[in-house]
Amino acid sequence: MLSFETLQENYTKVSYKREEHPISEENEKKLSIDKRKVAIKLIRLGVTVATIYFFGFDGEVFAANQNSLNERAEGFYFGTFIGIARWVIIIKGGWDVINKMLKEDFDGAKRGVFQYIAIFAILLGLPSALKLIEDIFRGA
């Protein structure tokens, strides 16, 4: 019959091998460097697309007419960006509020509704507030 001491002795004599992870440290460093390179390329692509959108293909990279740049940026902000932001807020905010209500956190759901309304109000009001501040400092 096996005693506790025999089992314990046999158990402690078992050698365990540490299994190697298929990704070595060197490969892991290469992967993180590759991720950084991809992130940098995506940022460059985004800046290039934004530059082309705002300045157009007419070769005026440094626009002499600042008003046309402001008009284009304002059109993009209030036309495209606010439209996308509205739907992101509706989907994300709706999801969060519904999840909180399902968990019976009604106070959290009310706070969530007001938070998303405040976010959208800030997105709409921020350009007007900055223009007002700019007019104050220009003395107009």
CA angle (23, 28, 34) in 5-degree steps: 130
Question: 3-state DSSP call for residue 36?
Answer: helix
The pTM of the full predicted model, rounded to 2 decimals, is 0.49
The Cα 63–Cα 60 span in angstroms is 5
Average pLDDT for 17-43:
70
Q: Distance from CA of residue 51 to its chain's centroid?
A: 21
pLDDT range class, residue 88, cuts 50, 70, 90: very high
State percent of the chain over pLDDT 90.
25
Averaged pLDDT score across all residues of the chain = 78
